[in-house]
């Protein structure tokens, strides 16, 4: 069920998405509230699960991670157990930034990985995911640049 958000809540969420490190006072000033009601609203949004977490976003290139790749994986069988095993194995790879169960004929999963170079794709792409019997096909595309990168905020 979607949260019932008013215009102040949406403004707060927009501000926090722009910069989650802002102080409560800064957010309050930007959205037109005093600090106390703003703090209370942020806490309510966290408790309601609207604000999932506050994180620091790193610049991959500054860390020597020059290449992003999208890997498509097709499984041999479509059972909850197979999916759970695969997802647990994928979580162990620090290169994997995102993993989606997708609805495509050619693939069951899409992984987004960030690695230093093309040679490093082979580690996750060759699915040393400790389940060669479960992974049938692995294909990948490199992404030479990120065109858009933001978390969408619906309702604004």
Same domain? 75 vs 22: no
Range of the domain at 28: 7-47
143 Cβ partners below 8 Å, 6+ apart? Answer: 67, 68, 69, 70
pLDDT at 133: 59
What six digits make up the tokens of 83?
A: 């999916």
Nearest to 122 by CA among 69, 77, 86: 69
Using only the alpha carbons of the chain, give its radius of gyration. 20
Residues in the chain where the model's pLDDT stays below 50: 125, 127-132, 154-156
Shared domain check, 105 and 32: no
The answer to whether residue 151 is domain-embedded is no
26-47 confidence digits (pLDDT tens): 999 999 999 999 999 999 999 9
Write down the pLDDT at residue 78: 85
CATH number at residue 22: 1.10.10.10
Residue 155, domain member (yes or no): no
**Spatial distance between the Cα atoms of 123 and 76, rounded to a whole number of angstroms:** 20
149 in a structural domain: no
What is the model's pLDDT at position 104?
73
- 34 and 67 share one domain: no
Which of 70, 95, 64, 87 minimizes the C-alpha distance to 134? 87
Instruction: Give a yes or no: residue 152 inside a domain.
Output: no
1 assigned to some structural domain:
no
Our count of domains for the chain comes to 2
Q: In the prediction, which pLDDT does 64 show? A: 92
**pTM of the predicted model as reported, rounded to 2 decimal places:** 0.70
Task: Tell whether 83 and 108 lie within a shared domain.
Answer: yes
């Amino acid at each position: 069920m979607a949260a019932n958000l008013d215009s102040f809540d949406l403004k707060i969420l927009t501000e926090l998405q722009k910069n989650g490190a802002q102080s409560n006072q800064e957010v309050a000033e930007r959205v037109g509230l005093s600090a106390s009601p703003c703090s209370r609203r942020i806490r309510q949004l966290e408790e309601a699960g609207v604000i999932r977490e506050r994180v620091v976003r790193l610049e991959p290139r500054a860390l020597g991670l020059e290449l992003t790749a999208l890997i498509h994986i097709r499984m041999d069988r479509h059972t909850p157990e197979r999916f759970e095993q695969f997802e647990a194995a994928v979580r162990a790879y620090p290169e994997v930034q995102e993993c989606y169960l997708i609805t495509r004929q050619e693939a069951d999963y899409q992984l987004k990985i960030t690695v230093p170079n093309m040679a490093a794709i082979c580690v996750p792409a060759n699915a040393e995911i400790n389940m060669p019997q479960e992974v049938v096909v692995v294909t990948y595309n490199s992404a030479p640049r990120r065109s858009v990168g933001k978390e969408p905020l619906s309702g604004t």
